[in-house]
């Protein structure tokens, strides 16, 4: 199982996990208990219950670069062609929007 921390404006908003059956996103309880937490997406409203999906949630998939930038990243770092989770955790650490994604291992070791 691979895990990634999902940040909303530099606050840990939740954990995204990839496992044999698909994907799970769970909001962090401390994030939910904040005064005015914001959902990371309209398709993933605030909830104490995990969201499950057989495919990578469209919101997260939409964060992955496309076109020439994706092509360069795949060639430069030799990512597996169809591993969207690997692309997400390696290419979405500095996104244009409020949400960023970091591999959990890197957070623990860094």
User: Which of 37 and 1 is assigned the larger pLDDT?
Assistant: 37
Provide the pLDDT confidence category of residue 79 given band limits of 50, 70 and 90: low
Domain of residue 77: give its range: 2-109
Counting the structural domains of the chain, the total is 1
pTM of the model: 0.84
How do beta strands 22-27 and 51-53 pair?
antiparallel
Residue 15 clears pLDDT 60, i.e. is over it: yes
What Å distances lie between residue 64 and 50, 75, 91, 92, CA to CA?
A: 22, 15, 7, 6
What's the maximum distance between 2 C-alpha atoms anywhere in the chain?
44
Provide the pLDDT confidence category of residue 88 given band limits of 50, 70 and 90: confident
What is the percent of the chain with per-residue pLDDT over 90, rounded to a whole number? 56
In this prediction, residue 14 carries a pLDDT of 98
């Amino acid at each position: 199982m691979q895990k990634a921390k999902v940040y909303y404006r530099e606050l840990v908003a939740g954990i995204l996990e990839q496992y044999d059956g698909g994907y799970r996103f769970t909001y962090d309880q401390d994030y939910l208990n904040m005064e005015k937490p914001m959902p990371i997406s309209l398709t993933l409203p605030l909830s104490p219950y995990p969201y499950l999906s057989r495919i990578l949630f469209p919101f997260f998939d939409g964060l992955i670069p496309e076109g020439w930038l994706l092509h360069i990243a795949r060639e430069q770092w030799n990512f597996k062609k169809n591993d969207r989770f690997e692309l997400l955790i390696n290419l979405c650490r500095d996104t244009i929007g409020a949400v960023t994604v970091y591999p959990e291992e890197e957070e623990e070791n860094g």
